[in-house]
């Protein structure tokens, strides 16, 4: 059975074109550790055209974290930016690519039930 991370990247690769990445040109590598073992996911983006592989090669940006943490991010249970600020994930390279890419991460699972869009604080009237 595939985990949340595998499902996320496989679905992204099947799409072939992702409109949310229409301004992205470059590559991101995700180095996900599980104990002593690391899994690599490489995402090449060219104006919305996306290719996903397990290549462990140089990229314009590299995100490093625990596999379990990334599972939580792609499940909408953890915010990627908050995790970066807390030091739970590390990123080096072109930050613009990561900002564009994180649009693909889902918001909290119950955000729509609460009547607000994911990632937006409730405004006080």
Could you tell me which of 46, 61, 50 has the C-alpha nearest to residue 8?
50
The pLDDT score that the predictor gives to residue 111 is 61
Please give the domain boundaries of the chain with CATH numbers for all domains: 4-104 (3.30.1050.10)
pTM listed for this prediction: 0.83
Q: What is the pLDDT of residue 108?
A: 77
CA proximity to 20, closest of 43, 4, 54: 43
| 3-state SS string for the chain | CCCHHHHHHHHHHHHCECHHHCCCEEEEEEEEEECCEEEEEEEEEECCEEEEECCCCCCCEEEEEEHHHHHHHHCCCCCHHHHHHCCCCEEEECHHHHHHHHHHCCCCCCCCCCCCCCCCCCCCC
When pLDDT is averaged across residues 29-39 and rounded to a whole number, the result is 95
Contact 61, 27 (CB under 8 A): yes
Each as own residue / partner, the long-range contacts of residues 81-87 (CB below 8 Å, 24 or more positions apart, any chain) are none
Average pLDDT over residues 2-26: 93
Segment 37-76, tens digit of pLDDT? 999 999 999 999 999 999 999 999 999 999 999 999 999 9
- Average pLDDT of 1-15? 89
């Amino acid at each position: 059975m595939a985990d949340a991370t595998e499902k996320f990247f496989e679905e992204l690769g099947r799409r072939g074109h992702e409109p949310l990445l229409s301004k992205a040109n470059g590559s991101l590598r995700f180095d996900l550790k599980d104990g002593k073992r690391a899994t690599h996911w490489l995402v090449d983006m060219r104006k919305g055209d996306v290719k996903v592989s397990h290549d462990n090669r140089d990229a314009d940006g590299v995100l490093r974290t625990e596999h379990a943490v990334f599972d939580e991010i792609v499940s909408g249970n953890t915010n990627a930016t908050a995790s970066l600020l807390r030091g739970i994930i590390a990123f080096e390279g072109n930050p613009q690519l990561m900002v564009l890419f994180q649009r693909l991460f889902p918001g909290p699972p119950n955000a729509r039930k609460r009547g607000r869009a994911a990632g937006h604080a409730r405004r006080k009237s």
